[in-house]
Structure 1
């Protein structure tokens, strides 16, 4: 008597004869995450179910959990990578793409305002500067490309942190508050209040002397869909002057966001 066997369903992990129970939760989550190939894919529930090779009800339940903790996001056009997944994609490849897409708008912003322009990404509790333009004025600002600063002390960092859930901030940002005491936020409640004000301003963040003495910045986050992946800022002196230029910063950030979110850019 022969024993008939069949190949495992597409997307399913093989099981050994001695251990033929259903895939573990970790295995099923892996199947679902691997369905997003390329990683900028927007998929509907039924598409994910087919790619993962899991029951529809199981897929839906796990998707809900992945959305809740930030690995995925759910919008009217389907599921896609969430902020937590994008955080781990802030490597040389995505940073290079951000710099490429942002370059013409950074140049235009610098020419129009005459101010120093920064482009930065969030790396854990810090920001890392990807670009800096400013001509002769650039030497007056001690930042440097590749350098870092605590995110909560910079307009760049706060503009990105403002779009994250408080629970996620507690997880990735537990010990940073309190640095530069006397110049910036010295406890979580102060930081969260400031982030709420930034959201009410439509995402505009300010700093005055928090990271560099006597320098004022205004910044706005750059997003891929709804996820903050970078930010740009103008640097000058005086809050009033920066507030007048703030709409230009917000407009440039929005244009870069739209460019990065376009399918052709994300799949490049």
Structure 2
């Protein structure tokens, strides 16, 4: 009878030895991912949670199927469902926080309007807008959207996707907003190739809004573009002169978000582009180029 009716101490010990519930196990695993940029291997997850490796693997597979976790060649990370729990922020608070000081510095250095955006399907979604005197003339707003193929922001991010991914996102949504907007997929792919040849710098003049010009560069993580930064001026603004500053800010935001990312990053494109940064000499030379400079 003693075995059938354990004493208080034995019952308490038995309860401690019971494995946690499925909800508790899932919570242990989700808590192991401390931020958007966290990447963990299966072994990392098992070690952090003290769960058996097989148990951690089984739960991770379920979380991946339900999009709470994503699994790539670089390990496990938070998925779109987990990143979207913040409500309207869409899980982009970490990007905004990392970029904020660099955006403000860029605006002060150039006097131009600065945008931060992410790619959402066939559109760009504006996370931040830091304005100067020209801000009121730029018809964009935080929380607003624009067709990705018509903006420098969108082209800067699309350039780092596989061609078939671009076709899937843009193929059914490509259309002209102005007479200068790219209206065919073949032409878009040609433009994205030029973006890659410019080390990721994308330009547009009057393609989204008439009389407005932009230059942008993507903020890139281990798995591809996570955001983009742009400078905006009117059609006469010599954006070629400030383009290296945009590329430098995008690189700094990438480092702030992914400090442990491999350098150079692994190319995920069919065409491999060198990963050199902009040296001080190169930046000085580009910044000295006049409005009619032909460095592009």
TM-score, normalization by structure 2: 0.64
1:164 and 1:52 map into 2 onto residues whose CA distance is: 36
Q: Is the 8 A contact 1:35 1:52 kept in 2?
A: no
1:230 and 1:217 map into 2 onto residues whose CA distance is: 15
> Cα distance, 1:10 vs. partner?
9.3
Aligned pair in 2 of structure 1 residues 176, 8: CA closer, same or farther (>3 Å)? farther
Q: Does 1:119 align with 2:116?
A: yes
Q: Secondary structure at the match of 2:134?
A: helix
Specify the alignment match of 1:72 in structure 2: 71
Specify the alignment match of 2:283 in structure 1: none
Residues 86-165 of structure 1 aligned to structure 2 (within 5 Å): 89=83, 92=89, 94-165=91-162
Q: Is the 8 A contact 2:113 2:233 kept in 1?
A: yes
Q: Does 1:177 align with 2:161?
A: no
> Cα distance, 1:171 vs. partner?
2.6
Q: Does 1:230 align with 2:224?
A: no
Specify the alignment match of 1:25 in structure 2: none
Q: Secondary structure at the match of 1:176?
A: coil
Q: Secondary structure at the match of 1:217?
A: strand
Residues 39-58 of structure 1 aligned to structure 2 (within 5 Å): 40-44=37-41, 46-47=43-44, 53-54=53-54
Aligned pair in 2 of structure 1 residues 181, 140: CA closer, same or farther (>3 Å)? closer
> Cα distance, 1:230 vs. partner?
1.3
Q: Secondary structure at the match of 1:192?
A: helix
1:42 and 1:11 map into 2 onto residues whose CA distance is: 25
* RMSD (Å), alpha carbons: 4.0
> Cα distance, 1:151 vs. partner?
0.8
2:240 and 2:214 map into 1 onto residues whose CA distance is: 9
> Cα distance, 1:253 vs. partner?
0.8
Structure 1: unaligned runs, 5 residues or longer:
1-6, 14-29, 264-268
1:245 to 230, 242, 247: 242
**Which moved further from structure 2: 110-119 or 233-242?**
233-242
Residues 27-46 of structure 1 aligned to structure 2 (within 5 Å): 37-38=33-34, 40-44=37-41, 46=43
> Cα distance, 1:238 vs. partner?
4.5
2:168 and 2:46 map into 1 onto residues whose CA distance is: 30
**Which moved further from structure 2: 194-203 or 220-229?**
220-229
Q: Is the 8 A contact 2:206 2:235 kept in 1?
A: no
